[in-house]
Structure 1
């Protein structure tokens, strides 16, 4: 079965998160001259005009599309959306007179000019510092070589023996060591380290705590990092001749050091989340599902270009070009409208089931398979999956991924449905409130949950604990 491009585009648009959809719209506006955005609220809206008539070949392509019982049938209603919703969100040209296509400042470029400035990368930051370092000239290119092999965390993972062979003739290992020693004096402190131990020692050295008089912190870093990771504090105390309290204080002093110094500069960007859905609760307790309109531009098809496409005085090739682009623009507008409608209907069904979450939080989440929502909305389960993918919802309790509200679950001894996410919340509460000097192992955690009516195995507790990045009992013990 071959799907028509229009159907494929609708599926793609439905699956896009908000930021990706914004980028897709910008790309379409750059490539499609007939697609424009309304920069202000028009006083009147013009009645939407139909897209140019499809050719015989395009109608044939459409006819190849669908088995109505399959998912693609969910997208066959695209043509209806322009008439039904066009005046609500996406409009044709406002009734004011359209400016000519030429001689007018390009509004598209104005709208897309406000893009974030380029963030300086770690490599750029180090190279900039390197240009001001005073050193023997033969070592300068070796420093550049080393900097180019430092990863985003700030580490030099490539052995010097391998680096020396990246220049011709191979560089003396002593020269590389000298160049590396200078690179390791650059900011951020700890950059250029070859492992965690060296990274922490470089930072201690910069603080004056790693000199000839070896401090306890330095000794812990040099000889006991694995013991720290395993929470074997009594063992470290015996080996160093110090008390457990002194070891705890040393580890506390080490905790301010940065194990990934490169992360301080550029590199990783904090992901920006734009919710597709906003959930509000009225004073009477009723739930309202809204789709924020400010996150997407209001799109329309240029009236001037539409008229040109119908004017027989327009050269035939240009007319066909405009008709193709008008049709493509209409498909995009229809697909975005259907995305909005589908996501809204899915969210409405979700919060009919998960209403208690808004009052009580994650512990009140109920089991909710996607198939149940698909049946309620009247679409294929794959359509629900696409509608949920990458979407976020703004609730009175904060912003959450929409997918979080779908999960399997169990039934408690009291007959209450409880999602596995709610079980995870119960598990975390047990661990947060346990005796830190004698924490619960997975078997005891399972027994405590069973006392609350939750039938759960030790293996499941271990799996959920690991998914929540909670360490095992041995590493949770406090001395």
Structure 2
């Protein structure tokens, strides 16, 4: 009979050295993170100085070494996956404090005119909200944590539910919609009756059944349903951070005089470093203190490693960007429908690096294109075969689905199978499963929920 058993196995894996970890962090760091990292290093390493002249500088003598070879050896021997490379460990704290759902509600709670005990309970309630704004913990669980009576928690919950936005801290969709209707003065109106008694029929737009159950005219049901559709089923997203994280494009793509698009690396604000000549002289002097010499040597080695790591980072990003532009020329001419299927393995092979190096190099990096500032990862898409025998990207299929749905008859929307037929008519060989998957990704409802019922 098979069962669970313990086994022991020995394996040899290369563990990344501290210097290797440092170089990988520099490779994966965004431009703003890199600027802070360089600034911090300059504060602790006196041998580093910024080059102020336009004249380039050379590194201190010595045998050159290849960071690329070290990266590739590490990735191959450790069987490092591209998925793991996506886990971006930030090197610095955020420059902007994000305005979250909980932080916004806490500001409202402290202004409530109530007892200190009730404020403590309110803060527990807020801490139990999910991203959509729904209360995930039960009243009994919060009462146990707060060492309070359930009826007291229930009273505070009603106070929290009176905060903005309407519908916050509801325990389910029905309560969320009813809270919003009550805020609008419609607690006794037809809309509230529909939500209380016929929510399932409403979800499937069975308006005639609702009219029969509530014994009201179909026209009134249609008007009430249209009003309910304007309510917010996820009130928490209203308070989601409205401040977009500030990003700086690593690469700018512009059309040259030859009519082709070319990438330009953005080095603006990134200090150009070199080793201070004073410390070189101190190191070469006869009779220098041994401890001083060792200290200077250590700092110079650290400075050189930082300089070379940054240079290699910039070379890798520019190399990847050049290959992206070469392969995606149609995108720069036509937009997203011109995206061509492309993998990181193709780029890695073209520039002679490991695939995971490309993954780290484009992670958190942005490219300034004629169609806006886009994440470099967006250019790597899967593809589907076309009727002509070629390939098109998944982004192109999504764009076509959006166009089809935008132009459909609202009273007779297309079913998934009909969208498949329309895509095939446009030369895209997508399946119904693919259409359903992309429809969900694009937040497009099923056809029966998109259908508008004409008023009788």
What is the TM-score with the length of structure 2 in the denominator? 0.77
Deviation at 1:116, TM superposition (A): 4.5
| Equivalent of residue 157 in structure 1, options 131, 136, 139 | 136
Q: What is the Cα deviation at residue 386 of structure 1? A: 2.6
Tell me: CA distance 1:136–1:380, structure 2 relative to 1, closer, same or farther (3 Å): closer
Q: Structure 1's 241 and 14: CA in aligned 2 closer, same or farther, altered over 3 A?
A: farther
- The DSSP-based 3-state class of the residue aligned with 2:329 is coil
Greater alpha carbon shift after TM alignment, 195-204 vs 133-142: 133-142
1:121-164 Cα offsets, whole Å, 9 max, x none, are 55455445444433456645444443444455444321111122
1:192 — aligned with what? 169
Q: Indicate which of 244, 247, 250 corresponds to 1:270.
A: 244
**Structure 1 247/390 Cα, relative in aligned 2: closer, same or farther at 3 Å?**
farther
Match of 1:78 in 2: none
Q: Which residue of 2 aligns with 1:103?
A: none
RMSD: 3.9
Higher mean Cα deviation, 342-351 or 122-131? 122-131
- Alpha carbons 2:191, 2:224 under 8 Å: kept: yes
Q: Which residue of 2 aligns with 1:14?
A: 27
Corresponding position of 1:50: 60
Aligned-pair CA distance for 1:280:
0.9
Q: Which residue of 2 aligns with 1:181?
A: 158
Tell me the distance in 2 between the aligned counterparts of 1:68 and 1:142: 52
Match status 1:332 vs 2:306:
yes
Correspondence for 1:391 among 352, 355, 365: 365
Match of 1:146 among 121, 125, 133: 125
User: Which residues of structure 2 form unaligned runs of 5+?
Assistant: 1-13, 77-93
What aligned pairs does 1:241-280 form with structure 2 within 5 A after superposition?
Answer: 241-242=215-216, 246-265=220-239, 270-280=244-254
Contact 2:50–2:272 (Cα < 8 Å) also in 1: yes
Which deviates more, 398-407 or 18-27? 18-27
Number of equivalences: 424
Maintained 8 Å contact 2:340/2:391: yes
Task: Classify the secondary structure of the residue corresponding to 1:356.
Answer: helix
Is 1:363 the counterpart of 2:342? The answer is no
In 2, Cα distance between the equivalents of 1:230 and 1:302?
72
Query: Structure 1 stretches of 5 or more lacking a match?
Result: 74-114
Residues 174 and 421 of structure 1: is their aligned pair in 2 closer, same or farther, counting only changes over 3 Å?
closer
Q: Secondary structure at the match of 1:418?
A: strand
Instruction: Report deviation, 1:248.
Output: 4.6
- CA 1:71–1:161: 2 relative to 1, 3 Å: closer
The aligned counterpart of 1:133 is 112
